[in-house]
A and B are shown apart, each in its own frame.
Chain A
Amino acid sequence: MTKHILFILLVALCAPSVFALSDAETDSLCSRFQIEEVEVTARALDKDVIVPQTLKGAELQRLNALSVADALRYFSGVQLKDYGGVGGIKTINVRSMGSQHTAVYYNGVQLGNAQNGQVDLGRFSLDNMEEIQLFNGQKSDIFQSAREFGAAGNVYLTTRKPYFKEGERVHVRGQMRFGSFALANPNVGVDVRLTETLSLTMDAEYVYSDGKYPFRYRRVLPSGETAYDTTAVRQNGDVNAVRTELGLHHYYRTTGFWRLHAYNYYSERGVPGAIVNNVWRNGERLWDRNTFAQAQWQDRWFNRWDMRFLFKYANDYTHYQNYDVRLLPSNNEYTQQEFYLSLANKVRLFSWWDVSLAYDYQYNTLDRKNLLTEDVTEHFLRHSHWLSAATAFNIKEYVRAQASVLMTAVQNTHLLFSPSERGAGGVPIPKFTPGLFFSFRPYPKMDLALNAFYKQSYRYPTFNDLYYTDLGNASLRPELARQHSVELAYKTNLPSLSHKAVLHPDGLSSLSVAVSYYYNRVTDKIIAYPKGQQFRWTMLNLGTVKINGVDAKADMSLCLPLRFVLRTRLNYTYQTAIDLTNPADSYYGHQIPYIPWHSGSVVLGLDWQSRRGDHYGLNYSFIYVGERYSQQENTVYNHVQPWYTHDLSLYGEWGVKPVWLKANIEINNLLGQDYEVIQNYPMPKQNIRCTLAVRY
């Protein structure tokens, strides 16, 4: 039910991937997904220049995934770093450029971490998520905030939006999930229609897991005899997290709305740490609170001038403490604040030509306090300005093009440093980065497109890079990524094998295939490098990486007889990411750490719908990550074996009007592979999750 709404809103807001809907079948079941309220007369200009990878709605819920990070594994060109367990950090790296080149947006506003530039995607639950999209380069639409032009890869997370049918006032969702490692995960959501156009959403979730999963280390002698074989239980991996969200939505006319969104996340967790010889347990604890409130207002005037205003205030607190008696105690507190303002304008000059101009401003602060030494609190400030200009035009139905230029100016300040030690903190030097996007459709009647882009983007040094005690380097330059990408994409509707039961949102059997080739170059890469003196490290702009890759993906859904629907989703990535820093290095020309040459995934889903509307589904997924190296040097001592997991889930959904019941059983890592994504961080073996949900 909420699904339609989402869909509608999606179309209204983003307009991607909707063009196939106009000829949707008028099957009674299909109508659930139909978009009666929206006219689907997409202009050529609104079609995608960059085709995003998308997971949404039911498909997203069907995956064996607990967090956003788990779901992102099903995208091509994405490498997930996963330290294991419910509480382990999970970050993504798009097309090997480094995780800090990827921006993550929550309902349209970027999530930030000025301290280390890292967004832990393991903390974002899928239960409240309607859609996850990944854009290589940037979002197709030039109507975006200036900052969105700034990242090399962009992940958009969109939470559920309320939808009410005529006469409905309240929707309630309740869900309970249990699973291995003492997972308990209740979730409650309430949507209230306050007036005809104003609605309120509330969502609350609690996650607990003791994180005690068994793992096994086994090695054999070259003869095949067992050298050692040990199974132990992961310790100090427990997590306790509470998430609450509140949204207020006011759609006061077709083109105008405002939204308020408040988010609060609190967690306490153990940091299980690396398993090394003689160490089976680590004692680090972490407390986090992430709070933000964001407001968005958008409207259109004169039917050609779109304007969007965004505001965000975020306040994040992290407390890190080490209880391991074998290590020196540490107890640190970090508080970050962020104020963000954005004003974006898009003007439609002609039906074939749009221009946009946007300005963003952000103010970040970080307070770092060592609670043991009770030193003065260190205080860091940053002012950032972004100004973007972009244009998009089309030549008939054949060509669509976008060009953008972004100016970025960042000013960092460390209040304890003398001006000379602050490096380039005084006057920010504006940096300009262009982006060019192009899409060619030789046969406008066919959904066949050749898309290409070139884009430059900067990854700015974080507070840690700049000022970390004895390690930071205040005169760091931003790291530059240059992307070149060509894509051939084809999408078609397949003749339905059944004219009766259609579950697919598009109401049709469909096939989409895309192959892309990319060449990226990252220069001035910020890396830790030892200083002349012993034990001392510093951050330097030292590093060049050349990335060549091919992504191939194919999605297909087939409506089969007897109300069966088969869905498949295939992804495959081949990439080389070669270190070209210095020919004198022993690792010159080697693949950079943790980038596999081969990776891919297969998802197969079979759904069946009964005549009265109950759904049953079986979903199988396979994820493969090929061999890779844990360090710069590709030697036998740094080699990491491939890993692959088979996951299975079974679900059913029953309507007992006016209530819907849903049950889901997932078995992950079905064959119990003992694997590591990051060396010395063992991953769970076979594990199970059960979910029971009620919707009203």
Chain B
Amino acid sequence: MHTCRKILNLYSVLCILSAIAVFPSCRTDEVVYPTIGTHITDEPRQGGLYVLCEGNMGANKARLDYINLESGTYYSNWYGSQNPTQMKELGDVGNDLQQYGNRLYAVINCSHKIEVMDLQARHIAKIDIPNCRYMAFKGGKMYVSAYVGSVATPEMLGSVFEIDTATLSVTREVKVGHQPDELSIVDDKLYVCNSGGYLMNRYDSTLSVIDLNTFTETEKITVGLNPTRIRVDDQKHLWVCCQGNYRKVKPQIVVLDGDEIITRIPTPCANISLLGANAYVLDAENKELKLFSTIDCQLSTVNYQLSTMEHPYGLLATNEALYISDAKNYVSSGVLHCFGYDGTEHWRASTGDIPAHFCRVTKAFELYGDTAAKPATGTSSPYISKVYDYVPAMGQFVNLLPEYKEGDDAAAMCHKCEQAIANNAGGLVCLGGWGGYITFGFDHPVDNKDGFDLRILGNAFLMSGSDTYGSSEPGIVLVSRDDNQNGLPDDTWYELKGALYDDPSTLHTYTKTYTRESDTLRNPFHTQPYFPQWVKEESITFTGARLPSMTESVNGQNVQRILPFGYADNKPNTDSEGTSFDISWAVDADGKSISLPCVDFVRIYTAVDEDNGATGELSTELSGAIDLHPPTD
């Protein structure tokens, strides 16, 4: 047994030695990828610049970086800090980045989606578009080229999708040529580069021209082999970069006026950026930046130090500077160079893999700087927690729902409203005739996420056997963010754009005054005063939008049209979709779509001014509201 011990000793020594060696580190929780700020310049400029780094296919390393040009700080992985909860981060292969209205849109090619963000790059929604490539915008619509359509064709044709930026849903689709890349809009025509990039030795060489009204391809213009980029200059001429076949057919830029080719410029053109009457062209092969005049398409040489770059790739010309990125070997971090127009290099910054797409924004953001959203407490309830205002217009249920008692003031009435509809109480509050409103909130801000955010319950119902008629007393929904952080609903209101927003019969500036004096008519069922008794003033004036008359006679019965979407107390509570609202529908006073990452207050007012005699006026009723994705603890 002595030898045994010796052996075991030897063995234990070996075990210990190997254990020391074999456990150099253990696995820990995977922490989200950090955002790292690096100071790059002391020369302040206004606003900021987003940099979308493509990342390689399958690597899931698309990265959105942000430069605060005012503080001169480069933030790697900015998107990550704004959206740490996004499953698998931004995605695989970033392919395009643009601002439209108050939103930032990024095409993530191999994640087959368009990421919709606010200007601080906070996630609002994603739009699933298969193999999407590039975007163009016009009139509230986004046009997206995609290598495949919603239905695959044996010819492997691509598609252009039209997306409503208010609802973020696809409205139309048109088939174009092979592997459509960039696209540009001139007046009512959309020009799409059909690259044929996947066909290898049989590249396409056409532009598809799409009439935006009919959304059909009206013609194909042959420009040159393998067109990939198309931009519109200040004279509405199209600059198309044709890459050739990388062998015998050399690359060129084709300039068109509409369907007519003005000139062909033989030059490699990896990227192009138009600014005023200047066209900056990146010749990656010769590592040169060439400047052309858009007036005569003539070359005037520019000498920037590109020869030190490994693979010049992305390009953006702005009023203050030229941004040129170096993609290096494509599988390691790139470098972004900022040049002045005198050719001097102002600064450079290390980026993610394949820095390629840029978006200049006018605002400078600080990391975690915008905290408009109140931190969610541990007891988030999906139901209304507070009623801030209750100002009904005259109506047959006013002073009844909720009931007014002598001595009640506005605050007391708000409290009664809370008892009726807050915390899922399921009671009913009547807003009276046109203009009467209620303002409520939750114990947390309501986030604007993918799809619907909020349900609003009323007492609408459908006529038996009908989907389109019933009892609908539509109320317009407004939302607001507590921008001044005072906890009160005194900030800008945004209307959630409903189905009749663009209807010509909708009046967007309507005013009506109700006076205590005029409160004389009673119907036999409701004999209480119709004017809100707690209001001290003799009259109340409302302003807002008014929808057209809802009531029609169907089979001798007075019923209302049920509107497709976007109004409170319009569809029955059993219709969860019909009673749901998306904060992304918000528009400002000018009707421009606005992106709100979250809202703190919701206001509903009766949107119709309609009295049906015996059954009284149409008045919106509210029986509750639900945040569809309250913060989880």
Contacts and interface: CB of A to CB of B under 8 A. Distances in A.
A495 interface: yes
Contact of A554 (B3, B18, B61, B90): B18
Size range of the chain B interface in the assembly: 35 or more
Closest 7 A-B residue pairs measured CB to CB?
A: A277-B91, A326-B130, A276-B92, A276-B60, A277-B88, A274-B58, A278-B111
A218 B18 contact: no
Interface of B: 3-4, 7, 10-11, 14-15, 18, 21-34, 36, 58-63, 76-77, 84-92, 108, 110-113, 126, 128, 130-131, 147-148, 152, 156, 179, 197-202, 228, 243, 246, 251, 268, 270-271, 284-285, 311, 313, 327-333, 350, 352-353
A633 B332 contact: yes
Interface stretch (A98-106, A344-352, A384-392, A640-648): A640-648
Contact of B92 (A230, A279, A372): A279
Interface string A221-255: 11010011010000000000000000000000000
A679 to B, nearest CB: 7
Nearest to A542: B329
A630 interface: yes
B110 A276 contact: yes
Contact of A497 (B4, B270, B311): B4
Contact of B27 (A274, A558, A600, A641): A641
A556 interface: yes
B31 A219 contact: yes
A633 B333 contact: yes
A329 interface: yes
Interface in A552-572: 552, 554, 556, 558, 568, 570, 572
A600 B15 CA distance: 13
Contact of B18 (A495, A570, A632): A570
Interface string A577-610: 0000000011100000000011010100000000
B34 A602 contact: no
Given A278-B126, A279-B92, A556-B11, A533 B85 contact: no
Contact of B111 (A228, A276, A327): A276
Contacts of A680: 58-60
Given A219-B30, A585-B329, A675-B27, A470 B110 contact: no
B333 A586 contact: yes
A219 B148 contact: no
A303 interface: no
Nearest to A681: B58
Contacts of B152: 325, 329
Contact of B112 (A278, A373, A598, A630): A278
Nearest to A497: B4
A535 to B, nearest CB: 7
A549 to B, nearest CB: 13
Contacts of A372: 156
Contacts of B131: 326-328
Given A218-B30, A556-B14, A572-B18, 20 more contacts: A217-B88, A275-B60, A275-B88, A277-B87, A277-B89, A277-B111, A278-B112, A279-B110, A328-B156, A530-B311, A558-B7, A568-B11, A574-B21, A585-B332, A586-B332, A586-B350, A597-B24, A626-B25, A636-B34, A643-B27
B179 A328 contact: yes
Interface string A438-474: 0000000000000000000000000000000110000
Contact of B21 (A279, A536, A572, A643): A572
A535 B197 contact: yes
B31 A637 contact: no
A318 interface: no
B27 A277 contact: no
Contacts of A570: 14-15, 18, 22
19 contacts: A220-B30, A221-B84, A224-B29, A228-B87, A273-B58, A274-B59, A328-B156, A494-B3, A532-B284, A534-B313, A556-B14, A558-B11, A585-B328, A586-B350, A587-B332, A631-B59, A632-B329, A637-B77, A641-B27
B58 A276 contact: yes
Nearest to A679: B59
Nearest to A527: B329
Contacts of B23: 624
Given A626-B25, A637-B33, A470 B18 contact: no
A532 B201 CA distance: 18
A600 B25 contact: no
A533 B284 contact: yes
A529 B32 contact: no
Contacts of A598: 21-22, 24-25
A322 to B, nearest CB: 11
Per DSSP, chain B at the interface is: loop
A304 interface: no
Contact of A217 (B36, B87, B268): B87
Interface string A133-154: 0000000000000000000000
Nearest to B34: A636
Contact of B32 (A220, A511, A572, A600): A220
B248 to A, nearest CB: 12
B332 A602 contact: no
Contacts of A43: none
A341 to B, nearest CB: 37
B479 to A, nearest CB: 27
B421 to A, nearest CB: 33
B340 to A, nearest CB: 25
A627 B24 CA distance: 9
A530 B202 CA distance: 21
Contacts of A32: none
B198 A328 contact: yes
B59 A642 contact: no
B111 A533 contact: no
B108 to A, nearest CB: 7
Contacts of B7: 494, 497, 509, 511, 558
A533 B18 contact: no
A230 B87 CA distance: 8
A641 B329 contact: no
B22 A572 contact: yes
Interface in A333-379: 372-373
B115 to A, nearest CB: 9
Interface string A400-430: 0000000000000000000000000000000
A533 B327 contact: no
A531 interface: yes
A624 B24 CA distance: 10
Nearest to A590: B332
Given A278-B128, A328-B198, A570-B14, A533 B285 contact: yes
A529 B329 contact: yes
Considering residues A227, A274, A509, A529, which has the most beta carbons from chain B within 10 angstroms of its beta carbon?
Answer: A227
Contacts of B62: 277
B243 A533 contact: yes
B80 to A, nearest CB: 9
A279 B111 contact: yes
